[in-house]
Structure 1
């Protein structure tokens, strides 16, 4: 079987049978096509059965060396290739696993970047005092992200039927189309209603997107990113320091830092929609921050 045909079958499988998100599908397709292009450009066989472990290792070396690929991105590509070979063996397209024994590069561990409580309050004050054309939309968007820990992909795909103002809840469709029901902060309800009342009637129909761009179309993640950078500048916060994903880190960090008596890691895992508690445990760096405060305030020296 030709490698490109197997890739097409695999992408169809994760799209139809596994019901992966469009973002995940696009990432897998990009990674596999990149591997395919590497083999083609190096005059390797395009037959799936002739792909070897040595070629995979050279592909990894090529990306880490020539393209200066970061270990975290490389790990994603390796994980993608492992899922691909597992599928091919399952479907009997492949008799040997050319990914067997391939290990992921060691990643440099970094603590998540997040905004302090003062930073987020500064951003909120700026949003509240802004009276430009899309100010109420922006206030609703970024306060929703900061108080729910939603991913930006979850926000741009949000429709009005996912918001229940009567019960103060929001239904979020996360990775793999998995649903989670979260409570909405009581102070956020009037902000969302003010924003909704500024829209045309048809724009608030239950299947319509909650947030739109300047042309009235659904926001895309890149557009949301640019709006956030602009909001940071208006709030006198460095746009080079923070990204949209840092709002998610901020939500998780401040939730543990400021509300520790009501939140444990399991609760935070449910709020963030993490499949594994391991992903949530990165936020235990908050414990270190609290220990540092305790040491610094210890008047012994």
Structure 2
């Protein structure tokens, strides 16, 4: 069986039978097509039975060296290949990814805004008088108070918003659904924003957030808006990204609200599949550790 045919079959499998999200399917397909292109470019056989571990290791070397990809990005591609190889065992007796190890990643702490930074951002959003000031204020306050991903924000429709119960329903990674309560301070803003739209724009299946052409925002467009808002708010646009708002939510939630939030609760709010992903935010305990050391009356 040829590799390209196996990839096509696998993509259909994860899309139809596994019911993976569109973003996940697209990512897996991209990773596998990149591996196929690598084999063709280097004159290697693309017959499924002839793929070797050495070729996989050369592919990883190519990603890290020639393409200068970061270990985290390379690890995702290795994960895609391993999942694909496992599927292909119905045709093969040899798993060409067995024993392949992922490169070590730098365990850097997530970048986040301080409470002062966030208040500075909110202050600008509340003072802004631009055409889209209400939309922007709602978008970025929603990201900062719920921790949803930017892809989840731009795909949000009005049928997912429950003004009565003050919740939003999020379709997260792997099509896993979660219900998030909205902060009480957001409710008047959300109601005003909805009232400012035309009747056809608040139809249940319509996107909540629109661009200047009255069409759904895309993640790239949202990022451009955020960078512009940061600059006008007096914050460094090169320092923060939209994903950092998610880090900010998680970090400040643990810093400012520890009596009401534990890691399990935070895991549910963020929609993490594994609590291991959530544990990175325990770095906030450093502040408590520092206070403990500083207050140690030993000298």
Q: Please classify the TM superposition score into its range, dividing by the shorter chain length.
A: over 0.9
Kept after mapping to 2: 8 A contact 1:18/1:176: no
The residue that corresponds to 1:250 in the other structure is 248
1:3 and 2:3 aligned: yes
Distance (whole Å) between structure 2 residues aligned to residue 207 and residue 244 of structure 1: 25
The residue that corresponds to 2:12 in the other structure is 12
Which of 258, 271, 274 is the matching residue for 2:272?
Answer: 274
Distance (whole Å) between structure 1 residues aligned to residue 73 and residue 290 of structure 2: 32
TM-score (norm 2): 0.98
TM-score (norm 1): 0.97
What is the SS of the residue equivalent to 2:170? strand
Distance (whole Å) between structure 1 residues aligned to residue 93 and residue 198 of structure 2: 58
The residue that corresponds to 1:67 in the other structure is 67
Alpha-carbon shift at residue 230 of structure 1 (Å) = 0.6
Distance (whole Å) between structure 2 residues aligned to residue 154 and residue 280 of structure 1: 18
Distance (whole Å) between structure 1 residues aligned to residue 186 and residue 216 of structure 2: 22
Alpha-carbon shift at residue 289 of structure 1 (Å) = 2.2
Which of 166, 189, 192 is the matching residue for 1:191?
Answer: 189
> Gaps spanning 5+ residues in structure 1: where?
none
Alpha-carbon shift at residue 67 of structure 1 (Å) = 1.4
The residue that corresponds to 1:123 in the other structure is 121
Please report the RMSD computed on the Cα atoms of aligned residues, expressed in angstroms.
Answer: 1.2
What is the SS of the residue equivalent to 1:222? helix
Structure 1, residues 155-182: CA drift from partner, whole Å, max 9, x if none?
0100011111111111111001110011
What is the SS of the residue equivalent to 2:82? helix
Structure 1, residues 6-30: CA drift from partner, whole Å, max 9, x if none?
1111111111111212111111111
> Gaps spanning 5+ residues in structure 2: where?
none
Alpha-carbon shift at residue 96 of structure 1 (Å) = 1.1
Alpha-carbon shift at residue 87 of structure 1 (Å) = 1.1
Structure 1, residues 58-98: CA drift from partner, whole Å, max 9, x if none?
01111111111111001000000000011111xx2322100
Alpha-carbon shift at residue 295 of structure 1 (Å) = 3.3
The residue that corresponds to 2:162 in the other structure is 164
The residue that corresponds to 2:111 in the other structure is 113
The residue that corresponds to 1:208 in the other structure is 206
What is the SS of the residue equivalent to 1:181? strand
The residue that corresponds to 2:86 in the other structure is 86
Distance (whole Å) between structure 1 residues aligned to residue 294 and residue 213 of structure 2: 52
Alpha-carbon shift at residue 300 of structure 1 (Å) = 6.8
Farther-moved stretch of structure 1 (110-119 vs 282-291):
282-291
Distance (whole Å) between structure 2 residues aligned to residue 297 and residue 113 of structure 1: 27
Farther-moved stretch of structure 1 (92-101 vs 127-136):
92-101
* Closer, same or farther: CA 205–33 of 1 in aligned 2, 3 Å: same
The residue that corresponds to 1:227 in the other structure is 225
